[in-house]
Amino acid sequence: MQFPKYQAWRKAVSEAVPYPPPTPTPTPDNEEEQLSPEEAIANGYATLRANLAAELLERIMAKPSGFFEKLVVDLLLAMGYGGSRAEAGTVTKASGDGGIDGVINEDRLGLDAVYVQAKRWEGNVGVGSLREFVGSLSAHKAHKGIFITTSDFAPGAREFVHQVSHKIVLINGQRLAELMIDYGVGVSTRETYVLKRADEDYFAEG
């Protein structure tokens, strides 16, 4: 570095235009930059929906057991079961463990009935609870049932349901929150976005 010519050469090298840098390894940030606007909106919507589902479950667990009973009835009515609130409300009864057990009409005419059991639990529902549920169905000569929980079902419980002759639908906490969002129970619309595109048929005329 004591020679002026060497110093000038180093300066010239440092100021020279470098070769094009290698293509950087994709990272989550620049992967987002490569998304189309539609893909970015879809990803954003999925994230907002997942956050809302988690918030709904937290709010359910923070409310008293009577609120969960009302929520289950509201959801089943919104999905088309039970006919009216008066009809649905008279067939459900609160139990001591924060859940409900009852029967609700599958359709508005009451041609078939569905036995409902709901557990506001934090731990997973095991095989024992499903066996008791199937026993209740048999005792009432019922063939269809819905088991709703705020938590989840143990793998053995899901396998057990496929082994019995009764038609049983299992709804875990995640599915419960998704149904609430889809059927507008406990949620309200904040913003609505409509994506439009050019009408090919319109521009094809003439």
Look at 88 and 202; give whichever has higher pLDDT.
202
Indicate the pTM of the whole model: 0.75
Predicted local confidence at residue 82, as pLDDT: 75
Q: How far apart are CA 168 and CA 161, in angstroms?
A: 7
What one-character-per-residue DSSP string does 138-193 give?
Answer: HHTT--EEEEEESS-B-HHHHHHHHHSSSEEEEE-HHHHHHHHHHTTSS-------
Domain-embedded: residue 30: no
Domain range holding 169?
A: 50-182
Q: What is the CATH number of the domain that holds 142?
A: 3.40.1340.10
Predicted local confidence at residue 34, as pLDDT: 87
Look at 136 and 89; give whichever has higher pLDDT.
136
Domain-embedded: residue 22: no
Read off the pLDDT of residues 155-190 as tens digits, 9 standing for 90 and up.
Answer: 999 999 999 999 999 999 999 999 999 999 999 999
Domain-embedded: residue 121: yes
Domain-embedded: residue 41: no
What are the structure tokens assigned to 70, written together? 């009302």
The dihedral built from the CA positions of residue 65, 68, 74 and 79, taken in this order, carries a sign that is: negative
User: How many domains is the chain built from?
Assistant: 1
Domain-embedded: residue 37: no
* Phi-psi map region of 98: left, alpha, beta (phi>0 left; psi -120 to 50 alpha): left
The bridge status of strand 167-171 relative to strand 100-105 is unpaired
Domain-embedded: residue 142: yes
Domain-embedded: residue 62: yes
Domain-embedded: residue 23: no
